[in-house]
């Protein structure tokens, strides 16, 4: 079920009404939200609902047995450590089967074929369940935190089921941890003090990003250029690359804005997932601002367990590269994502090396000039990596990049409107936070009837500016 659709609007009206009627009745409310989340997830394919329910049952059981294996003081034991490892293997095994089995089988078959050994790879129609990476990572964070002794007792099954299946973050994040979500289940918010104005602003902003900005850039230049790069000149290809950087930001941050707003209307607050990532002056800063919940997950459950920066420089560089490589592979079973992660990992290492040697050797370069150059370099490296993220294959990605060098011809597809949309979208990230906050306070000061009228007018405008139909969010494929 897509957010910007009539189906979801009807669904949410029912859920919103039922949620606030049942909220004082804690157990009934939990069952209602669980049922609603199952309907939301099963809307695509009811068969995948069994996978979600199985993940809930398996990880809840792991949480129980891991907690029992800890010492009375919550300290780890050899048994608890092995149980956590087993939980990780089971979760990654399920994820790997659906997401990576065909990729690895094909890769092995291609490698053997290059050695002269003909192998017929099995042909399996494995359909990727929507959002499997997101709810698997959330389940892993819970069982690992149990194993670390962060929970005094395991969650009741119903609470854990609501946490893992909650429809607003189920299929594309943000990756909400149980410690951030579950304490809110026992808090009964007063409907008179729900942050409705903030929620409405988030929903409107998310809808505008997805339906207007992302869809316009996709249809205007990104999809045509990446589909057939040889038909376009270098100027069109360059703007298509920049446009995709804006498209994927508008698409994904638009989804999370809507998700955060929807949850807020139900009295649940999610963590922030984006913070003007294209203002970053380093790739490290970029990952503090882009998909922040994934960045923190990779740091806490992968980078630090690998050793983090506690060893030598080479050891730290290895960990950085491995984390970004695996982060790339998390996005999909394709060599393009491996290269995308490798670019980020390699640049993060290079960034550290340069900073260590640069400090104290600025030679009078004005700090503002240095900052602008750092921003320009970071933004373009991110855009370069996005080419591999967007392209269907490695050869397609290089075909796009090659056109930057040799592309000649007409640049008719680069219109003034396209350039303005890209530049305005990029410039909007540099707007100080106080201005959106002022707009939110102004909106919140309006009478409820005026708020509803303004939101309705805004949605009509979005519908008029948007294309016919709404494409799935980009991150649904992950």
Q: Where are the domains of the chain?
A: 6-188, 196-466
DSSP 307: T
pLDDT of residue 359: 67
pLDDT of residue 128: 64
pLDDT at 123: 46
Give 282-328 pLDDT, tens digit per residue.
999 999 999 999 999 999 999 999 988 887 889 999 999 999 999 99
Of all helices (H) and strands (E), which one includes residue 119? none
Select from 167, 170, 101 the least CA-distant residue to 133: 170
Establish whether the linkage from the previous residue to 93 is cis, with ω within 30° of 0. no
Cα–Cα–Cα angle for 193, 195, 199, rounded to 5 degrees: 155
Percentage of residues of the chain with pLDDT beyond 70: 91
**270, 260 Cβ separation under 8 angstroms:** yes
Quick one: tokens of 108? 């092995």
Sign of CA dihedral 24, 30, 36, 41: positive
Residue 408 CB-half CA count within 13 A: 1
Tell me phi and psi for residue 257, to 5 degrees. -60, -45
pLDDT recorded at residue 361? 62
Q: What distance in Å separates the CA atoms of residue 438 and residue 445, rounded to the nearest whole number?
A: 11
25 is catalytic: no
Active-site residue, from 169, 331, 344, 361:
331
* Ordered alpha helix ranges (H), 23-77: 26-42, 46-69
pLDDT of residue 286: 97
Tokens at 265, concatenated = 């209307």
297-329 as b/e: b if 16+ CB within 10 A? bbeebbbeebeeeeeeeeebbbbbbebbbbbbb
pLDDT of residue 124: 46
Question: Which regions in the chain score pLDDT beneath 70?
Answer: 1, 102-128, 359-364, 409-411, 469-470, 476-478
Cβ distance 194 to 265 under 8 Å? Answer: yes
- Contact between residue 221 and residue 367 where contact means Cβ atoms under 8 Å apart: no
- Dist CA 409 CA 235 (whole Å): 9
Q: Could you tell me which of 208, 234, 184, 175 has the C-alpha nearest to residue 403?
A: 234
Angle at Cα 221 formed by Cα 216 and Cα 227, nearest 5°?
A: 120
């Amino acid at each position: 079920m897509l957010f910007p659709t009539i189906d979801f609007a009807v669904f949410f009206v029912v859920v919103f009404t039922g949620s606030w009627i049942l909220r004082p009745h804690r157990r009934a409310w939990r069952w209602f939200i669980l049922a609603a989340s199952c309907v939301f997830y099963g809307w695509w394919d009811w068969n995948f609902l069994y996978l979600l329910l199985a993940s809930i049952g398996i990880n809840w059981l792991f949480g129980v047995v891991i907690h029992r294996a800890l010492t009375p003081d919550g300290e780890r034991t050899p048994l608890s450590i092995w149980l956590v490892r087993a939980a990780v293997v089971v979760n990654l095994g399920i994820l790997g089967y659906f997401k990576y089995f065909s990729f690895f089988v094909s890769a092995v078959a291609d490698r053997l074929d290059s050695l002269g050994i003909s192998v017929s790879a099995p042909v399996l129609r494995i359909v990727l369940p929507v959002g499997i990476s997101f709810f698997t990572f959330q389940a892993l964070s819970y069982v690992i935190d149990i194993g670390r002794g962060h929970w005094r007792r395991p969650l009741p099954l119903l609470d854990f089921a609501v946490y893992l299946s909650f429809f607003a973050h189920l299929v594309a994040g943000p990756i909400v941890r149980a410690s951030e979500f579950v304490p809110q289940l026992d808090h009964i918010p007063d409907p008179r003090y729900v942050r409705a104005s903030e929620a409405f602003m988030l929903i409107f902003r998310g809808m505008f990003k997805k339906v207007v900005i992302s869809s316009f850039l996709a249809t205007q230049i990104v999809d045509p250029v990446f589909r057939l790069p040889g038909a376009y000149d270098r100027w069109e290809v360059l703007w298509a690359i920049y446009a995709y950087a804006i498209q994927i930001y508008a698409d994904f941050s638009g989804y999370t804005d809507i998700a955060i707003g929807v949850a807020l209307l139900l009295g649940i607050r999610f963590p922030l997932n984006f913070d003007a990532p294209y203002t970053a002056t380093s790739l490290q800063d970029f990952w503090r601002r882009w998909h922040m919940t994934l960045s923190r997950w990779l740091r806490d459950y992968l980078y630090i367990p690998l050793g983090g920066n506690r060893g030598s420089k080479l050891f730290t560089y290895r960990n950085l590269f491995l984390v970004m490589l695996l982060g790339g592979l998390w996005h999909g079973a394709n060599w393009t994502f491996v290269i995308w992660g490798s670019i980020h990992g390699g640049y993060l290492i290079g960034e550290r090396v340069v900073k260590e040697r640069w400090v104290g050797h600025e030679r009078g370069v004005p700090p503002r000039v240095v900052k602008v150059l750092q921003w320009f370099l970071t933004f373009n490296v991110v855009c370069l990596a996005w080419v591999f993220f967007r392209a269907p294959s490695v050869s397609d990605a290089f075909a796009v990049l090659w056109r930057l060098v040799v592309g000649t011809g007409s640049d008719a597809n680069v219109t003034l409107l396209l350039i303005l949309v890209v530049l305005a979208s990029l410039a909007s990230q540099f707007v100080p936070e106080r201005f959106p906050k002022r707009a939110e306070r102004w909106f919140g000061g309006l009478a409820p009837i005026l708020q509803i009228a303004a939101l309705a007018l805004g949605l009509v405008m979005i519908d008029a500016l948007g294309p016919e139909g709404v494409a799935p969010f980009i991150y649904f494929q992950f």
